[in-house]
Amino acid sequence: MKLTAALLFLALAGCRTGQDTPQPTPCMSDSECRADRICHEGRCRFLEEVRAELAGPSSVGGDAPADAGAETPEQDAAAATVEVPMGSESPMFMGGVRHRGRTAHAGPATTPTRRWTHRTRARVFASPVVGPDGTVYVGSLDRTFSAVAPDGTLRWRYVAGDKIYASAALATDGTVYVGSLDHHLVALDASGRVKWRLDLQDEIDASPTVGPDGTIYVSAGGVYAIDPAGAVRWHVPTASHVRSAPALHPNGLVIVGTPEGTVLAIRTNGEVAWRAEAGASIDGAASITDEGLVVIGTDRGHVVAFDASGTERWRFETGDDVRATPAIAPDGTLVVGSYDRHVYALTPAGQLRWRFETTGRLRASARIDPEGRIYVGSQDDGLYCLSATGELLWRVEVGQDIDSTAAIGPDGTLYVGADDGGLHAFASR
């Protein structure tokens, strides 16, 4: 919620008395609250009351200047040495901060059956994220964000002010972070109640990334680092809107691509480390290989790899836009789809290992299970499972385009969104 100068004056003056304060009412979003109230922890509350409870303006998700939370030189040094672990799967886009697309759970090896479909009223572009208890979180272009139980029943739903393209990210304390085109990054507790909302003054259609220290990194009109209480630690502005989800490099770098074709590396204290030119607009996120290469696709159809200093190491050309994030198999093979209707497997040195043709463009990123099986959706309405060597293991018809990147639950159920407005669950017979 954007704060006006008048509202701040009233809050500071304390002119509202308890006699004219209405009783809190249940809510799921700010749009359900009247006057100058916000939805906080499931209730419509006046902003000054929430701020008092959270010990001051800095802990509420309100507007903050770009230099808010400026760190001392000692803090800067510590931030620059934050380690990003190799890590197992984490509940966020592409399974972790490096966006390698690996999943710890084995998916269906043979043609699965559709177990259930959770319906929304518009396209599901966002990638589902599976929590530790099996809850599946996904947003829709109908403005809803749903938490769905493993059996397909709705646990709760949050309604945003605009479409949700971004995937969610979960913190270790169960907080769910999700952004939408209404300009807000929202923190929800495990029951779906709003903890805070932060207005970033621009649409959010890239998935947030939660670092090992709890910092939330998100793209919008630049790149933001936000603390778990909703305060902006730093903001690096860019020339235009960023759609690339931040990836974290083990050298303490936050990596994004920009529409100008620049790969931007920012240290975890907010200092720009380097910029590298990829040659064309970047819509997808970077992935970070085990060797520390930054690999990213461009709208010119190139897959480009840079080392940790920003030097280009290799470039591979496909026949059309590459808007998916490359997935990285344990042996280093890179798997990525292109708008030229092919899935490509590249060696760690950027040479073609194999390619597989579908009949539609590929916008979705691939996921790779522990057995090496590759799961990816296409705009030909099909969900594909390929072997590590590129053979088709199975294909299921979903019914409409699949731009959503799949996720796999602890029981092996495969979840994916589609343009029919459904979150679909597929499991082995």
pLDDT digit string (tens) for 79-95?
A: 333 444 434 579 999 99
Mean pLDDT, residues 345-365: 98
Token output for 402: 């699949």
> Chain-wide mean pLDDT for the chain?
86
What confidence tier does 159 reach under pLDDT thresholds 50, 70, 90? Answer: very high
Mean pLDDT, residues 341-345: 98
Mean pLDDT, residues 95-100: 98
Helices (H) and strands (E) in the chain, counts: 3, 34
CB atoms under 10 Å from CB of 307, counted, come to: 13
Residue of 59, 40, 52 whose CA lies nearest to 227: 59
Please report, rounded to a whole number, the percentage of residues in the chain having pLDDT higher than 70: 79
DSSP assignment of 247-277 equals: EEETTTEEEEE-TTSEEEEEETTS-EEEEEE
What span, in angstroms and rounded, lies between the C-alpha atoms of 409 and 131? 8
What span, in angstroms and rounded, lies between the C-alpha atoms of 275 and 197? 31
Where does the chain hold its CATH 2.130.10.10 domain(s)? 76-427
Q: Give residue 44's pLDDT.
A: 60
Quote the pTM value.
0.81
pLDDT digit string (tens) for 175-190?
A: 999 999 999 999 999 9
pLDDT digit string (tens) for 262-283?
A: 999 999 999 999 999 999 999 9
Helical (H) or strand (E) element with 344: strand 342-346
Q: Give residue 43's pLDDT.
A: 56
Mean pLDDT, residues 230-243: 98
What span, in angstroms and rounded, lies between the C-alpha atoms of 223 and 341? 31
What span, in angstroms and rounded, lies between the C-alpha atoms of 5 and 7? 5
Q: How many residues in total does the chain contain? A: 429
pLDDT digit string (tens) for 6-49?
A: 443 333 333 333 333 333 444 544 445 554 455 544 556 554 45
Residue 77 burial (C-beta neighbours within 10 Å; 0-12, 13-18, 19+): exposed
Instruction: State how beta strands 422-427 and 113-119 pair.
Output: antiparallel
Q: Give residue 89's pLDDT.
A: 79
CATH top class, domain 76-427 = mainly beta
What span, in angstroms and rounded, lies between the C-alpha atoms of 176 and 234? 21
The one-letter amino acid at 189: D
Is 367 or 87 the better-scoring residue by pLDDT?
367
Q: Give residue 68's pLDDT.
A: 31
Q: Give residue 55's pLDDT.
A: 40
Is 86 or 233 the better-scoring residue by pLDDT?
233
Whether 70 has a pLDDT exceeding 90, the answer reads no
Mean pLDDT, residues 324-349: 98
pLDDT digit string (tens) for 392-416?
A: 999 999 999 999 999 999 999 999 9
Q: Which residue(s) pair with 38 in the sheet?
A: 45
pLDDT digit string (tens) for 199-216?
A: 999 999 999 999 999 999
Mean pLDDT, residues 40-68: 42
